[in-house]
Amino acid sequence: MEKKSARELILEQLKEKSCMKQDVYQRTAHFFELLKEILAEIAEELKVEIGEEGNRIEIEYTSRGKYEAELKFAGDVLLFHMHSNVFNFDKSHRLYKTSYVKEDESRAYCGIINVYNFLADSIKYNRFNDSGYLVARLFVNKDDHFFVEGKRQLGFLYNDFINSTLDRKILKDILQSTILYTLDFDLLTPPYDQMKEITVHEVHELTNEMKIKTGKRLGFRFESDS
């Protein structure tokens, strides 16, 4: 068999790999647009179903452009961000041990949608020092197979990459699971020793810019939230 030239290999990679990555990107972008539709739907449903309490509980969906969307509910904000690039996994990853990926390694290439949780007041008052937390990552390949990395139920309910394909119903289930996790993920008081010192500058700036850092698990190991 005649060995391929460098030029032939380059053309082959450009045709096959680049087109495959474009397919992954297009499927991820499709599902991110669907995700935004569902978020708007969830926000409207919650506003209606919450009834009279709705005047006290702020629920709002906002599209922040092609790659970002935001859902605010009560004291929390979920920020959804679609990465514009396509990713593969290290060869030691569990996916490479499956027959699904061994048959076609292009199936391991995925788009990523990240979900971050912030305190609503951190966004409202522009508290740039405050912390947000990655609560879930949704991976989607060119054939709509998917899995979710996340905390608690998010880490095991949607973990069958080989057999699971993403659709509107499953995506809505994932979003509702994310909201439920966020509502259970409470703001904890940081350790006293961490907060016992404050500079004069921080005192002067406190009222205007809220310089004291705040986050749901500030001072605690997020990994312990199992």
Nearest to 115 by CA among 77, 165, 85: 77
- Decide if 85 is inside a domain: yes
Residue 47 resides in a domain: yes
Please count the structural domains in the chain.
Answer: 1
**Pairwise CA distance, residues 46 & 23, whole Å:** 34
Q: What is the CA radius of gyration of the chain?
A: 21
Structural domain for 65, as ranges = 8-186
CB 75 within 8 A of CB 121: yes
Map residue 221 onto helix, strand or coil: coil
Residue 84 lies in a domain: yes
Judge whether 196 lies within some domain. no
Per-residue pLDDT 10s for the chain (226 aa) are 678 888 878 888 878 899 999 999 999 999 999 999 999 999 999 999 987 766 788 899 999 999 999 999 988 999 999 999 999 999 999 999 999 999 999 999 999 999 999 888 887 777 777 778 899 999 999 999 999 998 778 878 999 999 999 999 999 999 999 999 998 876 555 565 655 666 666 656 655 554 445 555 543 333 434 4
